[in-house]
Amino acid sequence: MSKQQCLLVTGGAGFIGSCFVLQSRQRGLRVINLDKLTYAGNLENLASLSSDPDHIFVQGDIGNAELIQWLLGHYEPDAVVNFAAESHVDRSILDPEAFVRTNVLGTSTLLRVVKNWWSCLDDAKRASFRFLHISTDEVFGALQPGDPAFCETTPYSPNSPYSASKAASDHLVRAFHETYGLPVLITNCSNNYGPRQFPEKLISLMILNALEGKPLPVYGTGSNIRDWLHVEDHCAAIALVLEQGRTGESYNIGGHSERTNLEVVQTLCAILQEEVPCERRYADQIRFVTDRPGHDFRYAIDCRKLEQELGWKPVHSFASGLKETVRWYLAHREWVEHVRSGAYRDWMVRNYADRV
């Protein structure tokens, strides 16, 4: 009987990480889930695994070398999948050092401890082990209309403290492969959306504000363009890269769904008008607010490498995925209220009050 595969997943209580954990358990993998449980980490995302003996949750920081060393030695994972990161551009503008601490120094500590542990494994285990680092398309900078989409060889050109910190962590991961031979993989994804997203990001924020009759704050003229990727498609791609990707390589993951921010908000308003009819038009709540500093105009992902090498395709269309997402938030208002803590309300005031 073959040994059950075991993953150490960092940041596994967050939006994308929790989706990956849930999918991994559906595939029968044992998951050691390490999460610091900052504002965006939420164990309610994993409520269905509360009595699952093969989901072991540990609250802790990737910068805690002793904890990482103990987890590796005790559970002997077959792979480490690193989701742990500060991940919101607006927050990075207000507090860039927090992003350096987690995304750069934390990743560096995690890599060092994993490398030291991995180097002592027997030959077979060393050969099969993988370290997969989850990153973002924002490390590549910004595009203009008509520019070719980001590919894996696009030079890095980060424009925000968030993207700069993620670029640094990507470089560290690659360096540990080139210097020490650690078998790493990197994925760079476009904007994610879907169930259980912390309500500071565009889609989740707009859904909740619309339902509550609050303004829908759109930066600038709403003309900034993003490629939208359903979180379930993203996590399926990560699993495929982990299983079949070539070590030392990076893979872009995109949704083939470029939209302006204003188009996204208007589409959400139309869906809400169908799902929760209201005398007022949800679109009348749209308010254009002062743009954020250094706002990248366009992101777009060329994911042909992933599609051609590993055979991946997104399952969700943007139209169906967005409608499904709206329905999830309508059906889970208790989840929403639990995550909207005082810290969340303070953040909304800090980020938006002076823009309207």
Half-sphere exposure of 249 (CA within 13 A, CB side): 14
Q: Is 162 a catalytic residue?
A: yes
Supply angle C-alpha 226, 230, 233, rounded to 5. 125
Q: Which one, of 24, 87, 135, lies nearest residue 33 by Cα?
A: 24
Rounded CA separation 284/269 (Å): 9
The C-alpha torsion from 254 through 260 and 264 to 266, rounded to 10°, is -160
Q: Which secondary-structure segment (H or E) carries 191?
A: strand 191-193
Per the CB < 8 A criterion, the answer to whether 330 and 276 are in contact is: yes
Q: How many CB atoms lie within 10 A of CB 215?
A: 13
Q: Is 307 a catalytic residue?
A: no
Rounded CA separation 125/119 (Å): 10
Per the CB < 8 A criterion, the answer to whether 82 and 33 are in contact is: no
Residue in this structure with the two tokens 């103990």, named with its chain if needed: 70
Rounded CA separation 315/159 (Å): 31
Rounded CA separation 139/320 (Å): 28
Q: Is 219 a catalytic residue?
A: no
Rounded CA separation 341/323 (Å): 26
Residue in this structure with the two tokens 């980001």, named with its chain if needed: 150
Catalytic-labelled residue, pool 137, 200, 227, 296: 137
Catalytic-labelled residue, pool 35, 61, 90, 162: 162
Catalytic-labelled residue, pool 35, 61, 138, 227: 138
| Residue positions annotated with a catalytic role | 137-138, 162
